[in-house]
Amino acid sequence: MTLPVPTVAIIGRPNVGKSTLFNRILGARTAIVNDVPGVTRDRNYADATYRGRRFRLVDTGGLDPSASEGMLALIRRQSQIAIAEADILILVMDGRAGLTPPDEEVVGLLRGLRKPVFFAINKLDTPKSDPLIADFYRLGQDRLYPLSAEHGLGVAELLDAIVPLLPESTDRDDDREVPRVAIIGRPNVGKSTLVNTLLGQERVLVSEVPGTTRDPIDSMVTYQNRRYLLTDTAGIRRRGRIDRGIEGYSVARSLRAIGRSDLAILLLDGVEGVTEQDTKIAGLVLRQGRACILLVNKWDLREGDARARGEYEADLRRRFPFLSWAPVLFASALKSDSLREIFPLIDRVTASFAARVPTGSLNKFLQALVQEHPLPVRKGKPSRTTKSVYMTQVATKPPVFALFVGQPENVTPEYLRFLENRLREEYHFLGSPIRILVRRK
Ligand code: GDP
Ligand code: GDP
């Protein structure tokens, strides 16, 4: 018997960061794009997995501006619905704004409720903002969860507190360590064929008709005793052809599959070359902050064309400058021989994506770098004093670093790019985005 998946609802007044937290928990860095029809409609529900426990995450979302009732009444109505359908609640409040009457309105709804509620105080972006939490102790809660949903701080602690309340997966699959790989690309590029070849059996329906497979399909594959979860996201369509029906739905599913995954393998057609639609799909991967491998497929049809590889790769780099860190494979989904490199590469890339660099090592690296290339300054002499900078990793999947400096405004985009490239070289970050936040010391 399978237990029903519990529902975890995020409630709170508008603008406290509920959607940001929602996306954070799903592993997406930014909001699931809502300019694509069909995404807004159901973006507030998603299935999430944390430490092998599954739950359904609900974001109570934006208020309906057409309603004529007052703001407090609206907040009350939306929260009541969420409270009724949820098994577990996360109440989000804004640490910078302090406790406000609308917050107290929501807290009032929770009185006497027999469901677990976690009180999260958001927008505490630096350790310095911790005192802001004091205001909320008036609510009489033993435990408050300080968060920066935007920067991913405190989110793991919050989820770790929720985990014991979630039932263990009934299928004994502990998929915590299993890399999740989304196979994406425009229709007909060979996604289903690739999945079938990797699985070594006819698992996904393959057809000459574009878009035959519509929903993401998860398949577990074992390679050299390691397991991988492949999600075939057939169904990303050219934007102009999206209508509100099943196509829009599948875009939402595909975006979600990318967000849920550690890594996206973006397939490109070796014969047709890079198209505008490929660029758009690549943009989705970037926006969701996932790791990426570019796989140029159908290369069997270009074999014997000696210069083709170099030309294709140059074109790819020119069109996807924002994915310059993604490795490129040339292969044929029809030939398993040509895919030998794929699992070792997935291992390397997911390791980069999940990497955590110890602070000591990071600062040794940073100090040597600053000695050689001082931080830019506006006035006066460049400072080579290594005490003026400090760095620490604040998140993984993808790796996010906080660079603490005296004058953040002095850190130019060029310097940040330089620092990113050096970080990549030093720690062999391959196929994973990395982010550097500049903070005042
Ligand atoms: P919602 O209305 O509760 O869903 O709030 P949103 O998630 O849309 O966030 C409202 C605003 O707060 C947005 O401008 C977010 O960028 C910002 N925000 C969310 N989380 C944080 C955070 O951790 N720190 C800061 N500084 N801003 C945040
Ligand atoms: P999807 O829509 O991305 O899932 O694409 P399919 O896997 O359905 O493949 C579309 C068509 O391309 C099918 O006719 C496949 O047989 C063909 N195809 C896929 N991969 C390759 C390849 O590596 N080489 C060649 N020559 N054809 C391929």
Which residue has its alpha carbon closest to ligand 2 atom 14? Answer: 208
CA gap 400, 379 in Å, rounded: 29
Dist. CA 140 → ligand 2 center (Å) = 60
Judge if 210 and 321 occupy the same domain.
yes
Count of domains observed in the chain: 3
Domain-embedded: residue 385: yes
Q: Is the pLDDT of residue 250 over 50?
A: no
Judge if 340 and 383 occupy the same domain.
no
Of the three residues 314, 330, 353, the one that is the final residue of a domain is 353
Domain-embedded: residue 125: yes
Which residue has its alpha carbon closest to ligand 1 atom 24? Answer: 123
Across 405-429, average pLDDT: 90
- Say if residues 23 and 155 touch (Cβ distance below 8 Å): no
Say which range, 77-91, 152-166, 213-227, 424-438, has the weakest mean pLDDT.
213-227
Domain-embedded: residue 433: yes
Dist. CA 150 → ligand 1 center (Å) = 7
CA gap 305, 183 in Å, rounded: 27
CA gap 190, 200 in Å, rounded: 15
User: Which CATH number belongs to the domain containing residue 305 in this structure?
Assistant: 3.40.50.300
In percent, the amount of the chain with pLDDT more than 90 equals 34
State pLDDT tens for residues 332-389.
999 989 999 999 999 999 999 989 899 999 999 999 999 988 887 766 555 555 457 8
Domain-embedded: residue 1: no
Judge if 21 and 153 occupy the same domain.
yes
Mutate to test the pocket of ligand 2, among 188, 195, 217 (most ligand atoms within 8 A of CB): 188
Judge if 241 and 304 occupy the same domain.
yes
Domain-embedded: residue 395: yes
What's the pLDDT band for 59 if we cut at 50, 70, 90?
confident
Judge if 433 and 320 occupy the same domain.
no
CA gap 188, 227 in Å, rounded: 27
Judge if 252 and 332 occupy the same domain.
yes
Domain-embedded: residue 172: no
Domain-embedded: residue 2: no
Of the three residues 335, 353, 371, the one that is the final residue of a domain is 353
Closest atom of ligand 1 to CA, residue 20: 7
Say which range, 127-131, 172-176, 192-196, has the weakest mean pLDDT.
172-176
Judge if 200 and 92 occupy the same domain.
no
Which residue has its alpha carbon closest to ligand 1 atom 19? Answer: 17
Judge if 255 and 186 occupy the same domain.
yes
CA gap 250, 247 in Å, rounded: 5
What is the model's pLDDT at position 424?
Answer: 95
Dist. CA 216 → ligand 1 center (Å) = 30
What is the model's pLDDT at position 405?
Answer: 87
User: Which CATH number belongs to the domain containing residue 425 in this structure?
Assistant: 3.30.300.20
CA gap 397, 257 in Å, rounded: 15
Strand-pairing partners, residue 437, are 402
Sheet holding 389-395, edge to edge: 389-395, 400-405, 435-440
Domain-embedded: residue 424: yes
In percent, the amount of the chain with pLDDT more than 70 equals 78
Dist. CA 298 → ligand 2 center (Å) = 7
Number of neighbours of residue 304 by Cβ within 10 angstroms: 6
| Cis amide prior to 398 (ω within 30 degrees) | yes
State pLDDT tens for residues 195-211.
888 887 544 444 434 44
What is the model's pLDDT at position 208?
Answer: 39
Q: Is the pLDDT of residue 42 over 70?
A: no
Judge if 241 and 310 occupy the same domain.
yes
Tokens for 402, please give them. Answer: 């906080």
- Say if residues 93 and 121 touch (Cβ distance below 8 Å): yes
Average pLDDT of the chain is: 79
Polymer length of the chain = 441
Judge if 325 and 210 occupy the same domain.
yes
CA distances from 324 to 289, 401, 421, 433 (A): 14, 19, 11, 10
Across 236-244, average pLDDT: 42
Of the three residues 306, 324, 353, the one that is the final residue of a domain is 353
User: Which residues, 6+ apart, have CB-to-CB distance to 299 below 8 Å?
Assistant: 270, 330, 331, 332, 338
Domain of residue 390, residue span = 359-440
Closest atom of ligand 2 to CA, residue 196: 7
Dist. CA 284 → ligand 2 center (Å) = 22
What is the model's pLDDT at position 314?
Answer: 95
Judge if 12 and 153 occupy the same domain.
yes
The whole-model pTM stands at 0.60
Mutate to test the pocket of ligand 1, among 13, 15, 34 (most ligand atoms within 8 A of CB): 15
Say which range, 37-41, 166-170, 340-344, has the weakest mean pLDDT.
37-41
Judge if 144 and 252 occupy the same domain.
no
Pairing of strands 53-59, 7-11: parallel
What is the model's pLDDT at position 27?
Answer: 63
